[in-house]
Amino acid sequence: MSSNVVFYAGLVWVAGLLGVVVVRVARAETTAQRILALDLLTLILVGLLALAAGQDGRAYALEAGLALALLSFVATLAACRYYENRRPFS
């Protein structure tokens, strides 16, 4: 358990980072940049869930993080393949 000050400050800080990345998703110049921004978004969300699990002392949040990381990996691959040759599976 981190001390409360660090936990809440960290929560606000990560939320700020999430906001910045959401803006970048919306305003990306190219498709690859948008995919990358989405990937980073889920990565930061996993960090947020890790922070929450640390404060909570229970593993529920980390289970969600595990699923989220797997899901974002598959989504990124599919999006890249679609962007590359207009088909998700070649």
Partner 1 sequence: MIIVLSDILTVLGLAILTIGVYGFVRMPDVYTQLHAASKAGFLGIVALLASTALHGDGAIITRAVLITVLLALTTPVAAHAIGRAAHRREEPMHISEAVDETVDDR
Smallest gap from Cβ 37 to partner 1, in A, equals: 7
Select from 8, 15, 22, 33 the one that contacts partner 1 (CB under 8 A): 33
**CA atoms of 40 and 32, how far apart (whole Å):** 12
**CA atoms of 58 and 86, how far apart (whole Å):** 42
- Per CB under 8 A, does 87 bind partner 1? no
Query: Distance of CA 67 to CAs 1, 25, 43, 64, 75, Å?
Result: 23, 22, 12, 5, 12
Select from 8, 15, 22, 59 the one that contacts partner 1 (CB under 8 A): 59
In 3-state terms, what secondary structure has residue 28?
coil
Binding mask 10-29 for partner 1 (x = CB under 8 A): x--xx--x--xx--x-----
Select from 26, 32, 87, 90 the one that contacts partner 1 (CB under 8 A): 32
